[in-house]
Structure 1
Amino acid sequence: MFLTEKPNYPSFFDSFNKEKKKKKEFDLISQSFDESILRRLNTLCNSHSSVTINFSWLSSALAFLSFTHNQAITLLSNPKLTDSSNFYLDDSVKLLDICNSIASEIERLRHRRLLLKFALHLFNNNSEDAEKLRRARASLTDWDNNLKGYRYDSSKNLEHLVIDLAFMLKEVPRGKISSDERIVRRTIHSVGLVTVFVAGVVVAALRGSTELGVAVRAPSEFLWADSFNLLNSAISAELTRPGKKRHLLEELDDVEARLREVIGVMDDAGGEKGGSLNGAVKELERVTETLGEGLERLSNGVNEVFNTVMSSRKEMVERMRVGQQKQQTK
């Protein structure tokens, strides 16, 4: 009797089990992605389902957007699913444009803040000099006049970009597809919903809108749909809240309130106004610094989103290139 080595041919069941294991891992990644979105969403809305819109909240929303794109890359980088991946690549270009436009709006606010800084400089140097007081008051008035052009002229491009991005949500490829392709397209739709929502809120806040430019709702198939739609409703309620101040952004309202207080004291012809003016100027100085810090935080958030999307696009393109090369060498 002779012992012979049995040939080790790969069986059909080995291949089937590998594919089954790979599919299960892909499903688990998709589930983890949904759960991570849900956790992040819950941090953006308090227990009373209300929202206070300020630079801190907007920065958190942008961090959530950046996180969503970063988490999605594992699901979107399958080199075999180029149709859906190409859709994400096309879609994300809109977000890069939105980031650039938001950065431009932040710069506008920074330039407007210089009007406040100039007025404060004049107040602090010599608050008794009539000419300096006149120039300081003119600078404060320019803040308000500058707002009108900013609000009605500069935000149109931003609004149109968000609307275009929302329209692309309806164009996610459909039809008979594999289970992996379905997960990828579902992920694209998730990322699109989060992107349109966050971009819409940032745009509404910067332009002082009373409504979101685009209304989006998550379908019930998503684990995080209830939280997403609840947050959306909370934002809409804040935009239309009775008695809401002039601006959606808390910091801009604070600046305007203190600015009008300073002007009011300056225009008060009766009584002693020296002490009152000094106190009002100090409060204006405080909220002006808070505004500057908020703008810096928001700018960092926008840069983070831009860099994350650029990195995701680069990684996707590289994986697709490697995948195509492997197919060609077979």
Structure 2
Amino acid sequence: MSRPQEPHRPFFPFGNPFRMMSPKGSQLSQALLELLNSFEETLAERLRKLETVGDVLSLAWMKSAMESLCETHKEIKTLIARLELPVSDWDEKWIDVYLDISIKLLDISNAFSSELSRMNQGHLLLQCALHNLEANSPQQFVRARSSLDGWRRQIRTKNPRLQKCCSFLDGLMETLNLPKVKNSAKGKVLMRAMYGVKVQTLFICSVFVAAFSGSSKKLFESDVADTYLWAQDFKHLRGNVNLKIRKKLSSQSGHLVKELEGVDTAVEKLYPLTQNDFISLEEESLRSSVKQLGIEADKLSGGLNLLVKEVDGFFQIVLTGRDALLSSLRATCTGTDPTVGKRVGQSVV
């Protein structure tokens, strides 16, 4: 990540994250150590599982990656509950970090949803084209040609909201270093676990940005210390995924998402056949091309529907977590019923 030439104060200057388990200050009890190890081992298992899902950058893999991320964010909420660390005991810097991260994640989720919506709109154009071609009439043939033209224009148009994701990812990178924890064993566990959550989040979001934008500029490359139980599994997964992305980008100029590439290949085969006078569907070349496009369009639609649900689920997890924190802060500051604070928290979001 590029840096300005002049020195500047980091967004959250919390120092070296690897000092958090220093022998100075509070030591971890056996119970806390087991709690932390369980969290890290579960994260390592999730990362290993992603290596067995299938083709990287297929919608099926992306769906599994987002599902894995949702599970980790749920797990950190469970961990906080089991730590029994009230919000009133949280360091103010922890709260600042959490709120800053959550708003960036909501923005990133919205950008992903926007791109998936664009793909779904393109799929509607494909459905129109197929429907008109199957009507097997000169008038409908012209309409099918128009729909295919619309697909080709839309799929080659850049989504401006994806461009903003780059700055959001830069902002998340600024929060990767953890706050210093003084004399708080529970705080050390929380910060170490949060680091794992942020690393997985940055990695998966960077892969999504690469898949949607066709650029590897924001792929996550930061080093991770081997002191984490999930470090080796993460490095192995990241190395394989990033290598495949770069290899695919260097070998072709097409789409990174497998199902999108399949549809585009079928469209480019069918499109020239529609540029001349009416061709009956009885012609083998047209019938074969229409059939192949239908198959690829169904794969795209099915994959998009599943991925949309996972992205929406991730948005809700982040939103409810942010809302719960704001609600607790409101209740702590005013001494009012948490329900009142929740309404205030929702207003802030």
Which letter does structure 2 place at the counterpart of 1:37? L
Which of 219, 226, 248 in structure 2 is aligned with 1:220? 226
Larger radius of gyration: 1
**TM-score computed with the length of structure 2 as normaliser:** 0.77
1:92 aligns with 2:107: no
Deviation, structure 1 residue 113? 1.6
Which letter does structure 2 place at the counterpart of 1:261? K
Deviation, structure 1 residue 250? 0.5
Q: Specify whether residues 175 and 193 from structure 1 end up closer, same or farther in structure 2 by C-alpha distance, changes over 3 A only.
A: same
Deviation, structure 1 residue 284? 0.5
Per the alignment, residue 281 of structure 1 pairs with: 290
Per the alignment, residue 157 of structure 1 pairs with: 164
Which letter does structure 1 place at the counterpart of 2:239? S
1:37 and 1:229 map into 2 onto residues whose CA distance is: 13
1:184 and 1:34 map into 2 onto residues whose CA distance is: 12
1:154 and 1:93 map into 2 onto residues whose CA distance is: 15
Once the two structures are superposed, the pairs formed by residues 162-173 of structure 1 within 5 Å of their partners are 162-170=169-177, 172-173=178-179
1:69 aligns with 2:73: yes
Per the alignment, residue 143 of structure 2 pairs with: 135
Q: Is the 8 A contact 1:63 1:301 kept in 2?
A: yes
Which of 268, 285, 289 in structure 2 is aligned with 1:260? 268
Per the alignment, residue 307 of structure 1 pairs with: 316
Per the alignment, residue 55 of structure 1 pairs with: 59
Deviation larger for 58-67 or 113-122: 113-122
Per the alignment, residue 30 of structure 2 pairs with: 24
Once the two structures are superposed, the pairs formed by residues 173-184 of structure 1 within 5 Å of their partners are 173-174=179-180, 176-184=182-190
Per the alignment, residue 114 of structure 2 pairs with: 104
1:179 and 1:325 map into 2 onto residues whose CA distance is: 28
Per the alignment, residue 190 of structure 1 pairs with: 196
Q: Is the 8 A contact 1:217 1:228 kept in 2?
A: no
Q: Is the 8 A contact 1:98 1:158 kept in 2?
A: yes
Q: Is the 8 A contact 1:76 1:316 kept in 2?
A: no
Q: Is the 8 A contact 1:209 1:248 kept in 2?
A: no
Per the alignment, residue 11 of structure 1 pairs with: none
1:166 and 1:297 map into 2 onto residues whose CA distance is: 28
Deviation, structure 1 residue 145? 2.0
Which letter does structure 2 place at the counterpart of 1:66? C
Q: Is the 8 A contact 1:26 1:75 kept in 2?
A: no
Q: Specify whether residues 183 and 159 from structure 1 end up closer, same or farther in structure 2 by C-alpha distance, changes over 3 A only.
A: same
Deviation, structure 1 residue 214? 4.2
1:25 and 1:318 map into 2 onto residues whose CA distance is: 29
Q: Specify whether residues 75 and 321 from structure 1 end up closer, same or farther in structure 2 by C-alpha distance, changes over 3 A only.
A: farther
Q: Is the 8 A contact 2:114 2:161 kept in 1?
A: no
How many residue pairs get matched?
Answer: 300
Q: Kindly provide the CA deviation profile for residues 77-133 of structure 1, in whole angstroms up to 9, marking residues without a partner as x.
A: 51223432442233122111211121111111111222211211210112x41x432
**TM-score computed with the length of structure 1 as normaliser:** 0.81
> How high is the sequence identity, in percent, across the aligned residues?
27
Q: Is the 8 A contact 2:166 2:218 kept in 1?
A: no
1:292 and 1:319 map into 2 onto residues whose CA distance is: 41
Where structure 2 has 5 or more consecutive residues not aligned to the other structure, the ranges are 1-25, 336-349
Q: Kindly provide the CA deviation profile for residues 187-225 of structure 1, in whole angstroms up to 9, marking residues without a partner as x.
A: 221111111111111121122224444433422121111
Q: Kindly provide the CA deviation profile for residues 166-195 of structure 1, in whole angstroms up to 9, marking residues without a partner as x.
A: 22213x322645332222111221111111
Q: Is the 8 A contact 1:101 1:158 kept in 2?
A: yes
Q: What is the RMSD of the two structures over their aligned residues, measured on CA atoms?
A: 2.9
Q: Is the 8 A contact 2:119 2:155 kept in 1?
A: no
1:184 and 1:325 map into 2 onto residues whose CA distance is: 26
1:231 aligns with 2:237: yes
Q: Is the 8 A contact 1:70 1:312 kept in 2?
A: no
1:141 and 1:215 map into 2 onto residues whose CA distance is: 39
